[in-house]
Amino acid sequence: MKAWEIMSTALVKITRDTALTKARMLFRKKGNRIAVVYDSLPEGKYLGFINRRDIITLTSVRSDRTVRDLIRGYPKIYKDTELEDIVKMLSKFNVYACPVLESPIDEQAIGIVSYKQIIRALKNSGIIPRAKAAGEIMTQDYLDLFVIPQKERITKAWARLVNKGIPGLVVVRDEQILKPVGILTPTDLIESGRWYFRRESEHAITTPARVRKIMKRGVVVAYRDTPIEVLADFIIQYDFSIIPVVNKRGSLIGIVTQEDVVRGYLEGRKPGRRPIRIVPVPIPVTEKELPVYLPKPQILGQVLIQKEKMRVSGITVSDIAEPGIPAIKINDTVEHARNVMLRNKVNHVLVIDNEGKILGSISKRQLLYALGIRGPLWRRRTFEKQFIFEVINENVPIVRANMSIEEAAKLMVLSDSDIILVVDEKGMFKGIITKDTLVKGFLAIKDLDTVVGNLITPSKISIVHPDHSLAHAVRRMRAYYLDALAVVDGNNLLGVLSENRLPFLALEDARTGLRSRRLLWVRRLERGGRKQGRYIKITPLLVRDALTPFKRVVSINENVRKAIQLMIENDIDGIPVVDNKGSILGAVCKNDIVRELARAGPEKIIKERKEVRINV
């Protein structure tokens, strides 16, 4: 690969007599990495180039310095220079970009080559990096040179960028807590203009700004196992000079420069580094694995078709109802609802007004689906009161205490509600029915002879691969009215994906469509003095990140009682099912049991219409 195949033809030309203040204006306006210097324009002689690091040697807006004092004559790269030689020369002269000249005889600049363009060319050519993960290529030597506390004066940062020739600085909270909070590069100084400390001015030196006022808040961070291709994508898209590498606690352990990424592609791991297993990426979903979405009446028709000889158990909702449930007020936030669920170890909460009137309910399932659409707002900021209405289920059925559990199950399926309120003859609140209480009621049926094979959904529907995206798995659960999936890699059972073990994982980000597996984008880049910020993430969560390790199975010929007992003992919503040969068919889940009860329900169901209140 030669220079002419890599270079960009976008040139910014200036003369040696151009004022450095004007050159800084051009860099700021055009965002270029270098400017090509001629003795005159437009047909002058090529003299060299200056880069961003040269621009910030300017320390006063009143300076009369010109470009001629800063011209770099080397390296000289020609259009037929090979890629490996380009990389060697950029490294030798400690520059990240330089002009491409026509030939040694005709030294006219025809383009610019930079590490970023080299990375793009390597990616576009389909070249696989010899090193795999950030930990194999990151820079760890002299790490303190690349780190600066956010409260430090900008003069100290300026001295490192200019005198040490480093491409950028990682801004940390303080010297004791090495957690990245931003990044500072020559570009930030050029754009802000606030690094001036008037060294060249006749005026007295003013108090320099603090780093936190000039840095960009937030920075892409990588982990040891972040794939190099991911880093390359972000460098290409955002032109980051350095990417910090952090451990699981978020503390800085190294940095990756653009040069490191190029060398990772061409040379492989740095000497002495061991191979690192990279973060897996979601495997593609095949056409057969895509959920088939049917109209709700059609699905309910399949679900609620009555079987022959279905018996009514004689158990009523008053026999199994839970006497109480935590309640939150309509003015509370979703974050508060989340905390109430965690604190009380429940999957549902009631929503009431200030007078105690029940307005609806919120469940983990509703949070899961709502946050999957809206994005993880509860992680970002205080909730707007309106967001509670996006999550609340206002269609909570109300039934009498003498209703059978079969009627309640059918009502739960038809209303797509997670809970049912139970009232006495006077309309006073007596308790609630949930999916879990119906399952326990099913277990209480005498002479229960139902086998697992009669309940499980069609073969393979409730199976996902561990490297499927979590968003795909939840879409599958939603499409088929499932609350658990078996996680299988080949013939190896890894565990189950259980709805009640997915509390508050926002599966799809409102902006990018995908929730990240790793926190790779800390905040949206904003000028240091501005307070707004937004979490934007990449690399989707995988099923393996949320599965519950579980190796026990039930056979399709076993009594469903065993599956229910395993669900209760292990606090999961489903148990993997195998056939007579031991092959995994899927998972039997609590929703399957609720649907089995619903099939025995009557055609007509009477719901109470009264308002229900509880003591506030």
Query: Which one has a higher pLDDT value, 479 or 52?
Result: 52
Q: Kindly give the pairing relationship between strand 538-540 and strand 252-257.
A: unpaired
**How many C-beta atoms lie closer than 10 Å to residue 374's C-beta?**
17
Domain match, 64 and 97 both: yes
Average pLDDT value for residue range 315-342: 81
138 and 105 in a single domain? The answer is no
d(C-alpha 421, C-alpha 398), whole Å: 5
pLDDT of residue 612: 63
Quote the pLDDT of residue 509: 36
9, 10, 16, 17 alpha-carbon torsion, rounded to 10°? 150
Kindly state the average pLDDT of the residues 4-24.
87
Helix, strand or coil, per DSSP, at residue 171: strand
The first and second tokens of residue 3, run together, are: 């220079």
Is the pLDDT confidence value at 534 over 50?
no
494, 566 contact by CB (below 8 A): no
Rounded percentage of the chain residues whose pLDDT exceeds 90:
5
Quick one: 457 and 578 in the same domain? yes
Q: Is 377 helix (H, G, I), strand (E, B) or coil?
A: helix
Pairing of strands 538-540, 526-527: unpaired
The CATH number assigned to the domain holding 184 equals 3.10.580.10
Q: Rounded distance, CA 466 to CA 283, Å?
A: 9
Point out the domain boundary residue: 213, 244, 266. Answer: 266
Asked if residue 592 lies in contact with residue 302, where contact means CB atoms within 8 angstroms, the answer is no
For residue 139, the 8-state DSSP code is B
Q: Both tokens of residue 154?
A: 């900008």
Contacts (Cβ under 8 Å, ≥6 apart) of 481: 299, 303, 413, 591, 595
Residue 109 CA: distances (Å) to CA of 12, 48, 79, 106: 10, 9, 10, 9
Domains held by the chain: number = 4
The listed range with the strongest mean pLDDT (25-29, 215-219, 551-555) is 551-555
Instruction: Tell me the HSE value of 348 on the side-chain side, using a 13 A CA sphere.
Output: 20
What is the pLDDT at residue 283? 67
pLDDT (0 to 100) of residue 516: 42
DSSP 512-555: TS--EEE--B-S--EETT--------EEE-BHHHH-EE----EE
Residues 499 and 591 in one domain: yes
Are both 436 and 458 inside the same structural domain?
Answer: no
Q: What is the pLDDT of residue 124?
A: 86
**Percent of the chain clearing pLDDT 70 (strictly above):** 79
Q: Does the residue 251 lie in any domain?
A: yes
Reported as a single tens digit per residue, the pLDDT across 357-410 is 888 888 877 776 665 444 333 333 333 444 566 678 788 888 888 888 888 888
Q: What token pair was written down for 20? A: 């450095």
Instruction: Note whether residue 274 is domain-resident.
Output: no
Least confident of 113-117, 232-236, 454-458: 454-458
If asked whether residues 29 and 77 sit together in one domain, one would say yes
Please work out, in degrees rounded to the nearest 5, the angle formed at the alpha carbon of residue 325 by the alpha carbons of 320 and 328: 160
Distance CA 567, CA 594 (A): 14
Q: Which residue has the higher pLDDT, 477 or 508?
A: 477
The band of 426, judged by pLDDT with boundaries at 50, 70 and 90, is: confident
Residues 242 and 320 in one domain: no
Looking at the structure, tell me whether residues 435 and 406 fall in a common domain. Answer: yes
Three-class SS of residue 319? helix
Q: Is the pLDDT score of 609 beyond 70?
A: no
**Rg of the chain over CA atoms, in angstroms?**
32
Cα separation, 462 vs 467, in Å, equals: 15
DSSP state of 282: P
Residues 420 and 458 in one domain: no
Residue 342 has a pLDDT of: 78
Per-residue 3-state assignment (H helix, E strand, C coil) for 447-511 = CCCCEHHHCCCCCCCCEECCCCEHHHHHHHHHHCCCCEEEEEECCEEEEEEEHHHCCCCCCCCCC
The pLDDT, as a whole number, for residue 552 is: 92
Q: Give burial (CB, 10 Å; 0-12/13-18/19+) of 523.
A: middle
The terminus-to-terminus CA distance of the chain in angstroms comes to 74
Q: Is the pLDDT of residue 506 over 50?
A: no
Before 75, cis peptide (omega within 30)?
yes
Residue 566 is predicted with a pLDDT of 92
Average pLDDT of the segment spanning 305-324: 70
pLDDT higher for 609 or 438? 438
Residue 311 φ/ψ, nearest 5 degrees: -100, 145
468 plus 585 within the same structural domain: yes
Top mean-pLDDT range of 117-126, 176-185, 287-296, 521-530: 117-126
- Give 160's DSSP letter: I
Any domain includes 23: yes
Decide if pLDDT at 79 tops 60. yes
Rounded to the nearest 5 degrees, what angle is found at the Cα of 439, between the Cα atoms of 433 and 442?
Answer: 110
Categorize the per-residue pLDDT at 512 as very low, low, confident or very high, splitting at 50, 70 and 90.
Answer: very low
Is the per-residue pLDDT at 604 higher than 80? Answer: no
Query: Which pLDDT value is given to residue 443?
Result: 84
Q: Is residue 272 part of a domain?
A: no
Which whole number is the average pLDDT over 572-592?
89
Distance CA 240, CA 315 (A): 65
Contact 609, 345 (CB under 8 A): no
Region 302-316: mean pLDDT is 59
Same domain, 7 and 43: yes
Flag whether 530 is in a domain: no
C-alpha torsion sign, points 394, 395, 399, 404:
negative
Hey, what are 358's tokens?
């029940």
- Is 254 in contact with 242 (CB distance < 8 Å)? no
Q: Reduce the DSSP state of residue 149 to 3 states and report it.
A: strand
Residue at 287 is within a domain: no
Q: Which residues of 386-401 are buried (b: 16+ CB within 10 A; e: fewer)?
A: ebbeebbbeebbbbbb
Residue 284 domain flag: no
Point out the domain boundary residue: 416, 442, 468: 442
Q: Are residues 401 and 307 in the same domain?
A: yes
Handedness of CA 488, 494, 495, 501 (dihedral sign): negative
Segment (H or E) for 25? helix 20-30
Supply the pLDDT for residue 371.
52
Cα–Cα distance, 550 to 289 (Å, whole number): 23
Q: Domain range spanning residue 559?
A: 452-508+541-598
Residue 277 domain flag: no
Q: What is the pLDDT of residue 540?
A: 56
Q: How far apart are CA 482 and CA 365, in angstroms?
A: 11
**Stretch 125-135: mean pLDDT:** 87
Comparison of pLDDT for 524 and 423, the residue scoring more: 423
Give the span between the Cα atoms of 516 and 56, in whole angstroms. Answer: 37
The mean pLDDT of the chain is 78
Lowest-pLDDT range of 7-21, 320-334, 500-514 = 500-514
Higher pLDDT, 444 or 202: 444
Instruction: Tell me: cis bond preceding 42? Omega within 30 of 0 counts.
Output: yes
Which tens digit of pLDDT belongs to each residue from 348-361?
888 888 887 888 88
257 in Cβ contact with 139 (< 8 Å)? yes
Q: Which of 83-97, 161-175, 209-223, 532-546 has the lowest mean pLDDT?
A: 532-546
Angle between helices 435-443 and 590-598 (to 10 degrees): 70
